[in-house]
Amino acid sequence: GGTWRALPLMRVPRLKHIAATLQGRVYACGGSLGNGHGLASAERWDPEAEVWSALPPMGLERGEPAAAVASGRLYVLGGARSCRRGNLGEPSVERFNPVNSTWEAAPSLLQGRRVLCAGAVWSGRLAL
């Protein structure tokens, strides 16, 4: 069996965020500082260098979003600018291109969502 050890902390302490792997790296995007307001910040963990690197911020603050990886891109879906009760969430979707480190808009959800799950890719489509 292996042993556990502490690794460096993320650059931004966050909760209610997404974590996903893409091309051998771990991405942490959005979430909240615990004050109910969503974050637009994103960062990437490089397991070989054992370091977190800041990424360009997403176009929108997203607390409680979902994430999926498809076609070499990281998709961050829905979420809310405010994680407070009663907020139905955002319908927008963004995708991250790791080659040029940019975010771009992707087709929106049919309605705003938060606290959702995504991840399955079926016939080129993301399933929620």
Domain count, the chain: 1
123 residue type, one letter:
S
Report the pLDDT value the prediction gives residue 11, as an integer from 0 to 100.
Answer: 95
Report the pLDDT value the prediction gives residue 122, as an integer from 0 to 100.
Answer: 67
> What does pTM read for this prediction?
0.90
Report the pLDDT value the prediction gives residue 119, as an integer from 0 to 100.
Answer: 66
Report the pLDDT value the prediction gives residue 8, as an integer from 0 to 100.
Answer: 95
Domain containing 33 equals: 18-127
113 residue type, one letter:
R
Q: What is the CATH number of the domain that holds 43?
A: 2.120.10.80
Report the pLDDT value the prediction gives residue 58, as an integer from 0 to 100.
Answer: 98
Report the pLDDT value the prediction gives residue 82, as an integer from 0 to 100.
Answer: 80
**Domain membership flag for residue 1:** no
User: Residue 14 in contact with residue 63, Cβ under 8 Å?
Assistant: no
**Domain membership flag for residue 75:** yes
Query: From CA 63, how far away is CA 121, in angstroms rounded?
Result: 23
**Domain membership flag for residue 78:** yes
Classify each residue of 59-82 as buried b or exposed e, where b means 16 or more C-beta atoms within 10 Å of its C-beta. ebbbbbbbbbbbeebbbbbbbbbb
pLDDT mean values, one per 10 residues, the chain (128 residues): 92 94 97 91 98 98 92 93 77 96 95 76 70
**Domain membership flag for residue 11:** no
**Domain membership flag for residue 2:** no
Report the pLDDT value the prediction gives residue 120, as an integer from 0 to 100.
Answer: 63
